[in-house]
């Protein structure tokens, strides 16, 4: 009996996750262009620091408002068509950014880009976990985070060496590349089975597993789960979301997404250039952000490689612990620099190394794992909407952090601001240690059984891993 090939699954997973690279480029865009558009006025009109704060944060606000509506769309028209339908508005957003002649056009452009990116953040991880075998679910499910940080690095890289117009063009072509590649990918077999399209389900699964693979057992399992869902009493989505097992999964998913943002990652990414220039390390802000981008991509690669071996929970625990230590050190550095000017001139390496270590351990734990578990914790009948609610909490938190970070930095100083992130990282560490379940190698049925308080069948788990 042939086991087939894993290559088609990797291709489809990377293709869907390329939408995350588009969003990552939009996130990475902010840091290198800050001086270009506020100091040099490269757009040809003045932009104040407070206006730039809105230009940065409206990306995350756009992502916030779209997550729940997109959850209904992906169950209505499908995962793949939803992602392809995002390309026209994506291009509208970049056209506004390219031809902006006032700050309002930038506001609308960034908001639209955020909406499209936020929609990918709900759809792509779900698609990835539905197209792959259980043994590959962690790796392929983590592609989303890998591509989003690669997009951030891409934004940093083109922003470091090129003029504003070229930066915008190179970011604008990314959605077109996505559409060209993903157009040839299959729809999720899980979605097709839910819609009763059995022949299409078999065809999609055959493409994903390879033409010589024996798909009978897996196809039977997909049909059985689909039938089980259809046999459940029909209730509206609000009633389904109130089921105790769904509420428990939703609580875990939402808290992980909130912790991901409130430990400070987007504050560091959006304002990395200005942070490093504040250190007086002698390293330019642009060089420092390139170091950050490279560290994030390389460490996320490590996370992708080990998430199916180490497990989700242990990576969250390690990640939370190290993020707490590094943000505390950043706080100490900036506090001493403010209270004793000149006393830390020889210690500019401390915040740079602390931020790099923070990035590394965020990238192997609280970066990819919340998105992965977001697609693992829920049964098929509520997965789309529940995942969308968790995604909304992520982007709302990101919006609040990016908007509040410069305000807090000005009001209470950078030291205490980083200590707030430290306190939240400590809470995230403790929550992961005591309350987060391990979903590695478990089927949807096993995860639901575990959330309901039952014991997971270890022999089944062993067979699936």
Per-residue pLDDT of the chain in tens (465 residues, 90 and over written 9): 345 678 899 999 999 999 889 999 998 888 888 888 988 888 989 998 888 878 888 898 898 888 888 888 888 888 999 999 999 999 999 999 999 999 999 999 999 999 999 898 889 888 988 888 878 887 888 888 889 889 989 998 998 889 999 999 999 999 999 999 999 999 999 889 888 888 998 899 999 988 887 888 888 888 887 777 666 666 677 777 788 888 898 999 999 999 999 998 877 766 666 666 666 556 676 777 788 788 888 888 888 888 878 888 999 999 999 999 999 998 888 888 777 766 666 666 777 788 888 888 998 899 888 988 887 888 777 877 888 888 889 888 988 887 788 788 888 888 899 999 999 999 999 999 999 888 887 777 788 888 877 644 443 334 333
- Residue 71 has which token pair? 């959850």
- Residue 453 has which token pair? 């308080």
Q: Are 348 and 281 in contact (CB under 8 A)?
A: yes
Taking the C-alpha atoms of residue 280 and residue 283, their distance in angstroms, rounded to an integer, is 8
pLDDT of residue 420: 94
438: left (phi over 0), alpha (psi -120 to 50) or beta: beta
DSSP code per residue over 181-244: HHTTSPPPHHHHHHTT-HHHHHHHHHHHH-TT---HHHHHHHHHHHHHHHHSPP--HHHHHTSH
Query: Where do the domains of the chain lie, and which CATH numbers do they carry?
Result: 7-185+232-464 (1.20.1250.20)
Per-residue model confidence as pLDDT tens digits over 332-372: 888 887 777 666 666 667 777 888 888 889 988 998 889 88
Q: Helix 414-434 crosses helix 383-411 at what angle (to 10 degrees)? A: 150
pTM for the structure as a whole: 0.80
DSSP code per residue over 112-123: HHHHHHHHHHHH
């Amino acid at each position: 009996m042939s086991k087939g090939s894993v290559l088609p699954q990797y291709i489809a997973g990377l293709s869907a996750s390329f939408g995350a690279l588009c969003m990552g480029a939009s996130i990475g865009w902010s840091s290198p262009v800050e001086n270009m558009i506020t100091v040099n006025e490269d757009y040809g009109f003045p932009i104040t620091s407070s206006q730039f704060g809105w230009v940065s944060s409206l990306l995350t606000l756009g992502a916030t408002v779209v997550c729940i509506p997109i959850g209904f769309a992906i169950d209505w028209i499908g995962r793949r068509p939803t992602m392809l339908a995002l390309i026209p508005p994506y291009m509208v957003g970049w056209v506004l950014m390219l031809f902006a002649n006032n700050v309002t056009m930038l506001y609308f452009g960034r908001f639209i880009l955020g909406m499209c990116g936020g929609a990918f953040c709900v759809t792509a991880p779900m698609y990835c976990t539905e197209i792959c075998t259980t043994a590959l679910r962690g790796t392929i499910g983590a592609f989303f985070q890998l591509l989003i940080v690669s997009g951030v690095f891409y934004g940093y890289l083109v922003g470091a060496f090129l003029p504003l117009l070229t930066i915008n063009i190179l970011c604008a072509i990314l959605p077109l590349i996505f559409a060209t590649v993903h157009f040839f990918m299959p729809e999720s077999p899980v979605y097709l089975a839910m819609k009763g399209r059995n022949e299409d389900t078999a065809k999609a699964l055959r493409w994903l597993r390879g033409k010589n693979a024996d798909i009978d057992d897996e196809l039977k399992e997909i049909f059985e789960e689909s039938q089980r869902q259809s046999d459940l009493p029909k209730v509206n989505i609000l009633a389904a979301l109130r089921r105790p097992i769904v509420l428990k999964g939703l609580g875990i998913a939402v808290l992980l997404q909130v912790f991901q943002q409130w430990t400070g990652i987007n504050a560091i990414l959006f304002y990395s250039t200005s942070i490093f220039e504040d250190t007086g390390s002698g390293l330019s802000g642009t060089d420092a952000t390139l170091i950050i981008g490279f560290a994030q991509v390389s460490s996320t690669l490590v996370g992708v490689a080990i998430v199916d071996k180490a497990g989700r929970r242990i990576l969250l625990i390690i990640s939370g612990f190290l993020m707490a230590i590094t943000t505390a050190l950043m706080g100490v550095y900036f506090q001493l620099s403010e209270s004793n000017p000149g006393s830390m001139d020889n210690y500019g390496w401390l915040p740079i190394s602390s931020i790099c270590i923070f990035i590394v351990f965020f990238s192997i734990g609280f970066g990819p794992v919340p998105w992965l578990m977001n697609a693992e914790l829920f049964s098929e009948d509520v997965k789309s909407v529940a995942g969308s609610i968790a995604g909304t909490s992520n982007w709302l938190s990101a919006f609040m952090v990016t908007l509040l970070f410069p305000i807090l930095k000005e009001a209470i100083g950078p030291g205490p601001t980083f200590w707030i992130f430290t306190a939240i990282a400590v809470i995230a560490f403790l929550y992961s240690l005591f309350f987060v379940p391990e979903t590695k190698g478990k089927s949807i049925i096993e995860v639901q059984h575990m959330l309901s308080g039952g014991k997971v069948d270890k022999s089944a788990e062993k067979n699936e891993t």
